[in-house]
Amino acid sequence: MNRTVGFVAALLPALLMADLACAQSGKPGVEKLYVLNCGEGVAGDISRWSPGVNEGKSMDFVDNCYLIKHSQGWFLWDTGIPDAVAAMPNGLAPADPKAVTWHRPKTLAAQLDQLGVKPSDIKAMAISHTHPDHIGNVEMFPTAMLYVQKAEYEWPGANNAPRFKPEHPVTELEGDRDIFGDGSLTILSTPGHTPGHQSLLVRLPHTGPVILTGDAVHFKSNWENRGVPVNNFSKEQTLASMQKLSDIMTKEKAQLWINHDKAQRDTLKMSPAFYD
């Protein structure tokens, strides 16, 4: 046998062991969380989300996506307003003038690119629910495993259309799910806004536990007053889901990050800054 080959062959198990040790020294779990700008808009009439309160008043909305670096790969929570809206000078106007006119100051693609993350690097993703301001860019990631509640996946869309492309890889959930089996990223079933709405509990190593609400609640005053938007699928389920999140917050001492709340987002570090 060639001596060099023999030497390398003998060394190989040791090299593999060193590799394994290195992989194990990086702690398993969530490493970082980036808050991405996935839309900004103006609601025509805020009472649509808080019946009887502030009727006729408009309010600024924001829309976030959250990119999470887990030791097993990149995970994306929500995909926001479609990137195509970035090219629309007047934004995307809603059919109902009381709803939100959305703008896209930055594309999702550009924000991933800034971090050196390619769409094909996203190993898995989940969406809070199937409203257009949350699923606008799902097909930018055609190979990423999509975690969605069965009740949402099977909820018929307009003209009975499916909510997602049937060929998109999917894991249909029926309740809570610890995504990587280490407790660092847990999907929480929070129906009410839609039939299969879900939220996400992220346990960050230094920041601590954070709950990403999706649209289980739209802004702080609705959280404090248990306000339920008029168009929610089920008021009863919405209130039960808010109580569930409240109980988890207490138990975990978790922060509540409300997706559409502009006042709160103004206090958050936006990507490329991150939380760890």
User: Which residues contact Zn ion by CB under 5 A?
Assistant: 133, 215
Taking the complex as a whole, the smallest distance from the CB of residue 22 to Zn ion amounts, in Å, to 41
Closest to Zn ion by CB, 147 or 274? 147
Pairing of strands 145-149, 170-173: parallel
Strand order in the sheet with 177-178: 177-178, 185-189, 198-204, 208-212, 255-257
Six-digit token string for 204:
């960050």
Six-digit token string for 193:
């806004």
Picking from 161, 176, 183, 181, the residue whose alpha carbon sits closest to that of residue 245 is 176
Closest to Zn ion by CB, 111 or 232? 232
Nearest-angstrom CA–CA distance, 211 and 196 = 17
Taking the complex as a whole, the smallest distance from the CB of residue 99 to Zn ion amounts, in Å, to 10
Closest to Zn ion by CB, 70 or 78? 78
Per DSSP, the three-state class of 115 is: coil
Taking the complex as a whole, the smallest distance from the CB of residue 121 to Zn ion amounts, in Å, to 26
Closest to Zn ion by CB, 119 or 229? 229
Taking the complex as a whole, the smallest distance from the CB of residue 248 to Zn ion amounts, in Å, to 21
